[in-house]
């Protein structure tokens, strides 16, 4: 055995024991030995070490075994032994969640995004992290990892944001700068990819092996899960469905092309469609520049211009989704973002259009709305936890 062999075994056994407590349930040292297959002396040595380091805390006494005897001392995971940070750089808001060691949210903070100034945006995120730590009374030096989701294309290898058209960011070293500013290891994902992970963890796609989750906001992206694994592509930018052409004579997109799905189904596209209707003297209860939520409310109340804009977005999404169905053959398609509130006013036109653009074999594939309101941010927290657990000795 190499000199590092015994050390590696100790590290693996330590992680094995610690993993037993990550569900938050109290356990005795004998329980740990039985569940891990370690000897009782080894399990006791490791748990006592984790107790001394603050990873575990005393949790009272349990019930005696079937044969009677002393009641065992219980231990549980100390959820405040460390913290995780999730950061979402969206086109409109930068949001931060501080979570405890079990992933439970402790505090949130947000601010308007810094459009066109990535460095300012990164420093603003640090301020939000410090604010959240202060609200939760959690020392920032207990932050063990940071997960970042960004509305843009990300090179997963380097953690750089290659292009975020709606943020006005290009070639930004997000991972390295976040690590410098926060003082903890970081990982960076596209927001749609992070959203798909969150949906698979705690949304409508729990237990679904292969699905696609569309993130519909200012931009339109998708996270693809195949065989229970996130498909990122060779450079990490797989799923950029928002930059696929769905209209031949469409509007110019932030990526430089024209007729992209984003220019038809994104939030700005919907508000622009309403504005165009108003300029054409179409009767409406809305004013120019109305926010998406107001448009959706008006549509539910019967506003014709609002309904037409949502129907156009639904048909555009159908054309984009048809590409995904024909190429990937997923079990489920999930739509996230503020458009969820439109309900059947968007889903109805989408479902009517979908058979016209996809193979008949895909008609059984369900298209549903997400039940995770802030999946891109929740996914960032999940990424931070996974990063820490993968690197923990």
pLDDT, one tens digit per residue, over 316-350 is 999 999 999 999 999 999 999 999 999 999 999 99
- Give tens-digit pLDDT for 298-318: 999 999 999 999 999 999 999
For the chain, domain boundaries: 5-77, 83-196+376-391, 206-371
Q: Which residues pair with 28 in a beta bridge?
A: 74
**What's the mean pLDDT in 28-40?**
93
**What's the mean pLDDT in 231-254?**
87
* pLDDT score of 86 more than 70: yes
State the fold for domain 83-196+376-391.
Answer: Nucleotidyltransferase; domain 5 (3.30.420)
pLDDT at position 35, please?
94
pLDDT at position 1, please?
47
- Give tens-digit pLDDT for 22-31: 888 999 999 9
pLDDT at position 3, please?
53
Between CA 369 and CA 140 the distance in angstroms is 36
User: Which range, of 148-152, 199-203, 278-282, averages the lowest pLDDT?
Assistant: 278-282
- The answer to whether the beta carbons of residues 76 and 27 sit under 8 Å apart is yes
pLDDT at position 66, please?
62
* pLDDT score of 65 more than 70: no
- The answer to whether the beta carbons of residues 343 and 325 sit under 8 Å apart is no
Q: How confident is the model at residue 362 (pLDDT cuts 50, 70, 90)?
A: confident
- The answer to whether the beta carbons of residues 198 and 382 sit under 8 Å apart is yes
**What's the mean pLDDT in 218-241?**
91
State the fold for domain 206-371.
Answer: Nucleotidyltransferase; domain 5 (3.30.420)
Residues in the chain: 393
Indicate if 83-196+376-391 has the same CATH topology as 5-77: no
Between CA 308 and CA 282 the distance in angstroms is 11
State the fold for domain 5-77.
Answer: Arc Repressor Mutant, subunit A (1.10.10)
Between CA 373 and CA 105 the distance in angstroms is 14
């Amino acid at each position: 055995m190499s000199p590092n062999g015994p050390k590696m075994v100790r590290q693996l056994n330590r992680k094995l024991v610690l993993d037993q407590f990550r569900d938050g349930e109290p356990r005795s040292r004998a329980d740990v030995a039985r569940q891990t297959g370690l000897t009782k002396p080894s399990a006791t040595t490791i748990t006592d070490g984790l107790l001394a380091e603050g990873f575990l805390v005393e949790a009272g006494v349990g019930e005696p075994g079937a044969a009677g005897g002393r009641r065992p001392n219980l231990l549980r995971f100390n959820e405040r032994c460390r913290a995780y940070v999730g950061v979402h750089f969206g086109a409109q808001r930068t949001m931060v969640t501080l979570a405890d060691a079990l992933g439970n949210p402790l505090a949130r903070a947000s601010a308007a995004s810094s459009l066109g100034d990535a460095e300012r945006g990164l420093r603003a995120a640090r301020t939000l992290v410090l604010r959240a730590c202060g609200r939760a009374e959690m020392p920032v030096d207990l932050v063990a990892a940071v997960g970042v989701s960004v509305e843009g294309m990300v090179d997963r290898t380097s953690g750089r944001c290659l292009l975020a058209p709606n943020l006005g960011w290009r070639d930004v070293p997000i991972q390295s700068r976040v690590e410098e500013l926060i003082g903890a290891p970081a990982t960076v994902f596209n927001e749609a990819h992070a959203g798909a992970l969150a949906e698979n963890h705690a949304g409508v796609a729990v237990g679904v092996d292969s699905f696609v989750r569309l993130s519909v906001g200012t931009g339109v992206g998708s996270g693809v899960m195949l065989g229970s694994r996130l498909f990122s592509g060779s450079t990490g930018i797989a799923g950029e469905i928002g930059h696929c052409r769905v209209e031949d004579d469409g509007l110019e997109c932030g990526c430089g092309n024209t007729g992209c799905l984003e220019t038809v189904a994104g939030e700005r596209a919907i508000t622009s469609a309403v504005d165009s209707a108003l300029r054409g003297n179409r009767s409406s209860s809305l004013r120019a520049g109305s926010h998406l939520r107001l448009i959706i409310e008006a549509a539910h109340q019967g506003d014709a211009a609002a309904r037409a804009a949502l129907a156009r977005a639904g048909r555009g999404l159908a054309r984009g989704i048809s590409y995904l169905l024909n190429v990937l053959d997923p079990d489920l398609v999930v739509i996230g973002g503020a458009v969820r509130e439109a309900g059947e006013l968007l889903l109805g036109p989408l479902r009517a259009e979908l058979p016209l653009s996809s193979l008949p074999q895909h008609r059984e594939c369900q298209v549903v709305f997400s039940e995770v309101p802030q999946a891109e941010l929740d996914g960032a927290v999940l990424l931070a936890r996974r990063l820490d657990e993968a690197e923990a000795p």
